[in-house]
Amino acid sequence: MTAGPYFGMRIPRLEDAQLLTGRARFVDDVDLPGLLHVAFLRSDEAHGRLRGIDAGAARARPGVVAVYTALDLGDYWRPGPLLVPPPPIPGLVFHTATQVPLVRDKVRHAGEPLAMVVAESRYLAEDALEDIAVDLEPLPAVTELEAALEPGAPLVHEQFGTNLAAHVHQVKGDYASARSKAHALIARRFHYDRGAAAALENRGVVAQWDVRAEELTIWDTTQAPIPIRNGMAELLGLRESQVRVIAPFIGGGFGPKIMMFYPEEVLVPWAAIRLGRPVKWIEDRRENFYATTQERSQIHDAELAVARDGTIIGVKDRFLHDTGAYDPYGLTVPINTQCTLLGPYVVPHYDSEFTAVFTNKPIVTPVRGAGRQHGVFVMERLLDLAARELEIDRVEIRRRNYIQPDQFPYDHQILFQDFRPLIYDSGDYPAALDKAVELIGYERFVGVEQPRLRREGKHVGVGVVSYIEGTGVGPYEGARVTVEPSGTVRLATGVGTQGQGHFTTFAQVVADVLGVEVGQVRVSTGDTREFNWGTGTFASRGAVVAGSACHAAAVKVREKVLGLAAPLLGVAPNDLVLAGGRVHRRGSPDQGITLGELARKANPLRGAVTPGTEPGLEATAYFGPDRGNAASGVHAMVVEVDPETAAVAIKRYVVVHDCGTVINPMVVEAQVQGGVAHGIGNAFYEQLIFDANGQLQNASFMDYLLPTALDVPTVEMAHVVSPSPLNPLGAKGVGEAGAIPTGAAFAQAVEDALAGTGIEITEMPLSPGRLFELLQAAQGGVG
């Protein structure tokens, strides 16, 4: 094992041996004696009134143990919690409508569960679904955002008398008066459509009720095991200590696996208690297209006011946000859009207003990027258009508008999704831009390569865009560090882990503080028995918030080590050094004691633990940042477009990223690479297509296209480091960065490659088919 210090080093991931040899446990690996299996009957209709369900035949089928409809749930039937209440923005309107465990009176999107079958096997459970007779009166559906707000539109939730789910207006400065001073006004309509998170592993829940211990264990593919534990205890009338939620290894979270209290998540444990047998449900891929939350339809009408030299005077944006059939996650996604639009730029006047809209489509909650990509797309496209109109270079117009390194903290004067003011903590945007421009060879490409290739008949283009990612939001996370007599250091934290490398990065943080080998630190995440205070993995906050808590707990243990060792070794604490798993006198490495031995002494069987001290070498600590921090970066890509087929090949992809202090560059780079793959999917492949009746048209990977390894280039990366002053590590988040500006970079590069055709890209995602249509329209319909 490499020797420390480990912070900042490319430590191979400690969890990989387990993952690569198939020894990691995922939810579907949980197999218990007497396990029952669940299948859900889901609505084919997107909107309909439920008149009745006859499950008699299904109940009579051999092997079926139980069939539940909404009526069978009794008092347990209740709408799910509002997970994120709206922030305190003056004048804000918000209509709460959260998902229900099983449809009782009205279906509001295709795939909503109507009944739950529990059987001896999944096969039997699925067969029994066909025995259930459902009397459902179809209702006209609303799927289009503008149509949904028209008078007389079918209502998703009648009680509101409207499909308006929320309305928010945030203002900085006075755009209306400022715009009169503009040299140019760039106004466009932008569309961004839905995609799926498409995690490798679908969702799953296994629950077991131990009748003797009166304890419920839930294995759940959740990103937030502790809120699920607390919520399930409350729902089931149990003490929190009676419920243990384990979020084991998870094959990708990306947002939809947050503490949703999905129907399946609340019903499986309930059935396990009721039936006295363990119960399992694993989502299949087709279910995932309907039952797992999605993102991200929005329509923006945006206007940019610029001065002659390209300086931004202000931006006005009015947008519609599709929240789907319910809005349990509040306004996180559209507020992220609203805030992220401002990007790394000085925008003196900003007038942004959005309306969230209920539609008969699956629920929208954050998916990697969580609304940020829309804001980036709108702003970057407006800047591209302004640059063209003002005949300023694309890179130059961005440089001219950056917040400068000496302007931090920089206050944008609006509220962020964490209810805190949108204040950027640190950054160096010009440095990132310079690096990206140099890495992609922008000047040479535009000046030499592109003209040469164009003469050869090749349509190549470059795109360079900037973005901010608000990351590392509160409220808090915690960690407990324990030194065992063996010398092993146990580290437990509450966040769930879905492949981010937590087992390695958290260990690196703790290993350095205690002077042990990184492999000596055994990390436990996502098990409420190990640690039961915290919120979860979201908003690119694991390393920042949980990482800082790990650090704080390790520092407390280090203090205990010093306090115990000082009298033993006969020196003052500050004359001690922790290294190599030992604490020793400074300058005399042989005069010391191993941490394991010290741990044993700290837990004596005779004698006394002095009042006011604690036994053992263990400490728990918490960390909550004052507010989120601002990670940032620049993406640049080179594409080649075949104008005959509208196929696009990404030739090069450069990311210069600033996530503050880097704990493990390899982990950061892998996050960025994965994010870019996600972003490329969102830009050119992935689109959930619904018809006017709310029917998803491409509910399988035959028709919903994911980018393959052949479509995703190896990202060339460089780092800029602007440490965050908001946490002791100086870290910022990186989990979503790769996916956020990809669409904007792609649009700019493709437009550049097709310069002269008159094509203008104002929508995402594209596809070869859609790009072909745009190209034909731009060329006057001549194919």
Which residues are near other proteins by CB under 8 A? 44-46, 110, 129-130, 138, 286, 289-290, 691, 693, 695-700, 702-703
User: Rounded to the nearest whole angstrom, what is the least distance from the CB of residue 524 to other proteins in the complex?
Assistant: 40
| Tokens (6 digits) for 305 | 């006011």
Minimum CB distance to other proteins smaller for 28 or for 127: 127
Nearer to other proteins, 129 or 357 (CB): 129
Quote the least distance from Cβ 320 to other proteins, whole Å.
25
- Whichever of 46 and 648 has its CB closer to other proteins, that residue is 46
Phi and psi at residue 220, in whole multiples of 5°? -145, 135
Nearer to other proteins, 603 or 698 (CB): 698
Q: How far, in Å, CA of 396 to CA of 771, rounded?
A: 28
Give the list of residues 6+ apart from residue 20 with CB closer than 8 angstroms, or none.
none
User: C-beta of 40: minimal distance to other proteins in Å?
Assistant: 14
Locate tokens 């961005």: which residue?
A: 398
Residue 155's alpha-carbon distances to 143, 151, 344, 363, 387, in angstroms, are 11, 10, 40, 16, 43
Nearest residue (CB) to other proteins, 119 versus 392:
119
What phi and psi, each to the nearest 5 degrees, are found at residue 598? Answer: -65, -40
SS3 assignment, position 636: strand
Q: How far is the CB of 465 from other proteins (least distance, A)?
A: 34
* Phi/psi at 333 (5° precision): -65, -55
Closest C-alpha to 366, from 475, 496, 254? 254
In the bound state with other proteins, the residue whose beta carbon lies nearer, of 116 and 521, is 116
Task: Name, in order, each residue with C-beta under 8 angstroms of 114's C-beta and a sequence gap of 6 or more.
Answer: 40, 41, 42, 43, 50, 53, 69, 102, 103, 107, 132, 134
Starting at the edge strand found earlier in the chain, the sheet holding 48-54 runs 106-107, 48-54, 133-138
Q: Tell me how far CA of residue 342 lies from CA of 347, 410, 412, 577, 765, in angstroms.
A: 7, 12, 8, 47, 21
Q: Cβ closer to other proteins: 2 or 700? A: 700
User: What's the token pair of residue 339?
Assistant: 């805030």
Q: What dihedral do alpha carbons 609, 613, 616, 620 form, nearest 10°?
A: 160
CB of 107 to other proteins, least distance (A): 11
CA-to-CA dists, residue 188 to 301, 357, 467, angstroms: 6, 21, 20
Question: Hey, what are 226's tokens?
Answer: 């502790």
Comparing CB distances to other proteins, the nearer of 46 and 747 is 46
Q: How far apart are CA 736 and CA 503, in angstroms?
A: 19
The answer to whether residues 41 and 131 touch, using CB atoms and an 8 Å cutoff, is no
Residue 135 or 443 having the CB closest to other proteins: 135
> Could you tell me which of 524, 619, 496, 506 has the C-alpha nearest to residue 226?
496
Nearer to other proteins, 109 or 229 (CB): 109
Q: How far is the CB of 291 from other proteins (least distance, A)?
A: 12
| For other proteins, the closer CB: 45 or 201 | 45
Task: Give dist(CA 120, CA 713) in Å, integer.
Answer: 46
Smallest gap from Cβ 47 to other proteins, in A, equals 11
Residue with smaller CB distance to other proteins, 154 or 173: 154
Q: What is the DSSP string of 637-663?
A: EEEEEETTTTEEEEEEEEEEEE-BS-S
C-alpha to C-alpha distance for 648 and 747, rounded to whole angstroms:
11
Distance of closest approach, residue 693 Cβ to other proteins, in angstroms:
5
| Residue 124 vs 437, nearer CB to other proteins | 124
Q: Are 361 and 46 within 8 A, CB to CB?
A: yes
Determine which helix (DSSP H) or strand (DSSP E) holds 64, and give its type and residue range: strand 64-69
* All residues at 6 or more sequence positions from 406 whose CB lies less than 8 Å from its CB, including other chains: none
Give 697 or 708: the residue with its C-beta nearer to other proteins.
697
Smallest gap from Cβ 197 to other proteins, in A, equals 17
CB of 149 to other proteins, least distance (A): 23
Question: Residue 695 or residue 762: which is nearer to other proteins going by CB?
Answer: 695
Q: Which residues pair with 640 in a beta bridge?
A: 460, 649
* Min dist. Cβ of residue 703 to other proteins (A): 6
Q: How far is the CB of 702 from other proteins (least distance, A)?
A: 7
Instruction: Report the C-alpha dihedral over residues 43, 48, 52, 55, rounded to 10 degrees.
Output: 0
For the bound state, the minimum distance from the C-beta of residue 691 to other proteins, rounded and expressed in Å, comes to 7
Cα 717–Cα 542–Cα 505 angle in degrees, nearest 5? 65
Quick one: 136 or 507, whose CB is closer to other proteins? Answer: 136
Angle, helices 547-569 vs 502-514, to 10°: value is 30
Residue placing its CB nearer to other proteins in the complex, 290 or 377: 290
What is the rounded radius of gyration, in angstroms, for the C-alpha atoms of the chain? 28
Residues with Cβ within 8 Å of residue 670, at least 6 apart in sequence = 501
From the CB of 42, what's the least distance to other proteins, in Å? 9
385 vs 688, which CB is nearer to other proteins? 688
Instruction: For the CB of residue 643, give the shortest distance to other proteins in the complex, in Å.
Output: 25
* CA triple 36-38-41, angle to 5 deg: 155
* Least distance (Å) between residue 204 CB and other proteins: 21
Give kind and range of the element (H or E) at residue 594. strand 588-594
Q: Order of strands across the sheet with 164-172? A: 93-94, 164-172, 349-358, 312-324, 298-306, 184-192, 763-764
Residue 288: CB minimum distance to other proteins, A? 11
Cα–Cα nearest to 477, from 175, 256, 188, 733: 733
CB of 300 to other proteins, least distance (A): 28
